[in-house]
């Protein structure tokens, strides 16, 4: 898969600058996305929601995430010159979404607001992943993992900031405050990434004819490749496990009922930061190893270790060992998902990167719509919030077994001459 990359015309076309800015923006996006689960116990208590009403909101959020990815992937591939404005729009949309969420008077409006705030985080991945895949064909695993490293910074900060603020502020007031940084971030994204979809030799090429329906058909054709189909399946199962882990762990840590540990908001935030943010340590390293030794050689043992650690969470109780286990799980939580994405991008045709990313995130999101209801049923009937960790462990083992039988190809390419 030899891919030439043209000499950048200015610093904002330099691939390392683009990687840094996209990773920073990804971190801000996850500062909002991963802060939301911390707010959910407070929202549940304030509005008197049952576990199944919470599951409905979580499912709606995941369903909206999936729909945006499935619908948007093929479209984003067709509007490469608009990737910068799309990324800027994600930040503006996030600011507006949190204003609506903060003002929600009842469950109906709250549900609509949850759908609204699911859009920018979902849409961000499509142009950013496609841009990095095209600019880093020689170090795709590292670049995608560094983009994930940015998200892990946000994952660490999100529960700490949300948990800290909830100790002395109402959740509605905090969400109003959240709108301001998103608006400021939109200005930075526009300045740094407005030309991210434009390459140096685009002016010499005829404008491509936009055929969105053909792009959707091409996306469906990808499933004829057994590796694509099995990778998407493994990613979807692992994604459902991650969603259950991140969505319900705050309830296990914070609530005093259904087997919860009755922690304070900030203490729960610290533990959740370990779970969601330890990719700061592992993501670049695992991405490098996957480029150097192969995707499967990193994915299979990583998933098995994550599954084993997850199975011991409940037995640790509220002890130091709980923090150690959550930190260990966090080393693999987002980092391995980034490597699965890199493996998929290794085998799809150039120009379909956003479509392929949309398949993984979209199917994950659509399956995620039903997953919270399964999780809520398990909580209600099989041992409380702690039972979620066994559910997650089993799904992670299934994902590891699927990946272990995939025949990964030789994806390596030479470093572009002028990058």
Residue 65, pLDDT above cutoff 80: no
In the chain, the percentage of residues whose pLDDT exceeds 90 is 8
Q: How confident is the model at residue 397, as a pLDDT?
A: 94
pLDDT reported for residue 212: 59
The top-scoring range by mean pLDDT among 2-16, 270-284, 294-308, 372-386 is 294-308
Mean pLDDT of the chain: 78
Assess whether pLDDT exceeds 60 at residue 132.
yes
Average pLDDT over residues 145-160: 76
pLDDT-derived band at 51 (thresholds 50, 70, 90) equals confident
Predicted pLDDT of residue 295: 84
DSSP-assigned letters across all residues of 6-48: PPPSSGGG-HHHHHHHHHHHHHHHHHHHTTHHHHHHHHHHHHT
Question: Residue 215 has what pLDDT?
Answer: 61
Query: What's the confidence (pLDDT) of residue 3?
Result: 43
| Residue-wise pLDDT tens digits, 361-384 | 777 767 767 777 888 888 888 878
Q: Which two tokens stand for residue 143?
A: 């670049």
> What is the token pair recorded at 62?
């995941």
Cα–Cα distance measured from residue 364 to residue 366, given in angstroms and rounded to the nearest whole number = 6
Question: Residue range 343-356: average pLDDT?
Answer: 73
pLDDT-derived band at 398 (thresholds 50, 70, 90) equals very high
Question: Which pLDDT does position 2 carry in this prediction?
Answer: 41
Mean pLDDT of 115-124: 78
CA distance 328 to 179: 33
Whose CA is closest to 386, among 193, 252, 197?
A: 252
Closest among 122, 155, 129, 124 to 368, alpha carbons compared: 122
Predicted local distance difference test score (pLDDT) of residue 412: 53
Contacts of 138 (CB under 8 A, 6+ apart): 412, 413, 414, 415, 416
The residue among 204 and 89 whose pLDDT is bigger is 89
**Residue 390 confidence (pLDDT) above 90:** yes
pLDDT for res 410: 59
Give the pLDDT band (50/70/90) at residue 150.
confident
Could you tell me the two tokens for 201?
Answer: 């030799």
Distance from C-alpha of 280 to C-alpha of 331, rounded to nearest angstrom: 8
Nearest to 271 by CA among 310, 307, 318: 318
Query: Using one digit for the tens of pLDDT, what is the confidence trace for 198-255?
Result: 665 555 555 455 565 666 666 666 667 778 788 888 888 888 888 888 888 888 888 7
- Helical axes 140-166 vs 15-33, angle rounded to 10°: 30
Residue 391 pLDDT > 60: yes
Domain map (residue ranges) of the chain: 11-198+212-404
Q: If you average pLDDT over residues 395-403, what whole number do you get? A: 92
Confidence of residue 322 (pLDDT cuts 50, 70, 90): very high
Please state which architecture CATH assigns to domain 11-198+212-404: Up-down Bundle (1.20)
User: How many Cα atoms sit within 13 Å of 352 on the Cβ side?
Assistant: 19
pLDDT at 408 > cutoff 90:
no
Question: Residue 305: pLDDT above 90?
Answer: yes
Which single residue is written with the structure tokens 């462990």?
A: 393
For residue 11, the model assigns a pLDDT of 58
């Amino acid at each position: 898969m030899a891919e030439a990359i043209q000499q950048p015309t200015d610093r904002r076309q330099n691939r390392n600058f683009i990687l840094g800015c996209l990773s920073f923006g990804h971190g801000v996006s996850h500062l909002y996305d991963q802060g939301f689960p911390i707010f959910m116990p407070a929202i549940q208590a304030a509005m008197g929601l049952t576990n199944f009403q919470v599951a409905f909101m979580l499912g709606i959020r995941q369903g909206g995430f999936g729909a945006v990815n499935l619908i948007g992937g093929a479209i984003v591939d067709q509007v490469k010159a608009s990737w910068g404005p799309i990324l800027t729009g994600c930040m503006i949309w996030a600011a507006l979404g949190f204003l609506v969420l903060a003002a929600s008077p009842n469950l109906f409006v709250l549900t609509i607001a949850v759908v609204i705030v699911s859009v920018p985080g979902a849409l961000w991945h499509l142009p950013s992943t496609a841009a990095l895949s095209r600019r880093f064909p020689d170090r795709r695993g590292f670049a995608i993992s560094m983009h994930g490293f940015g998200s892990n910074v946000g994952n660490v900060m999100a529960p700490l900031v949300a948990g800290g603020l909830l100790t002395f502020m109402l959740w509605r007031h905090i969400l109003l405050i959240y709108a301001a940084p998103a608006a400021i971030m939109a200005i930075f994204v526009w300045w740094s990434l407005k030309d991210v979809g434009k390459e140096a030799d685009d002016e010499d090429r005829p404008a491509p004819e936009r055929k969105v329906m053909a792009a959707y058909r091409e996306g469906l054709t990808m499933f004829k490749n057994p590796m694509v189909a099995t990778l998407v399946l493994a990613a979807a199962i692992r994604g459902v496990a991650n969603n259950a882990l991140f969505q319900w762990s705050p309830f296990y840590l914070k609530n005093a009922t259904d087997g919860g540990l009755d922690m304070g908001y900030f203490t729960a935030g610290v533990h959740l930061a370990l779970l969601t943010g330890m990719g700061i340590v592992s993501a670049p390293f695992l991405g490098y190893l996957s480029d150097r030794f192969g995707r499967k050689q990193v994915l299979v043992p990583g998933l098995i270790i994550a599954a084993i650690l997850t199975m011991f969470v409940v037995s640790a109780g509220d002890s130091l060992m709980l923090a150690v286990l959550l930190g260990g799980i966090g080393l693999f939580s987002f980092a391995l998902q980034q490597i699965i994405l890199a493996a998929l991008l290794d085998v799809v045709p150039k120009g379909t990167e956003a479509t392929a990313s949309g398949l993984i995130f979209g199917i994950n999101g659509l399956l995620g719509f039903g997953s919270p209801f399964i999780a809520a049923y398990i909580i209600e009937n099989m041992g409380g919030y702690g039972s979620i960790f066994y559910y997650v462990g089993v799904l992670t083992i299934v994902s590891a077994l699927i990946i272990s039988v995939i025949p990964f190809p030789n994806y390596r390419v030479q470093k572009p001459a002028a990058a």
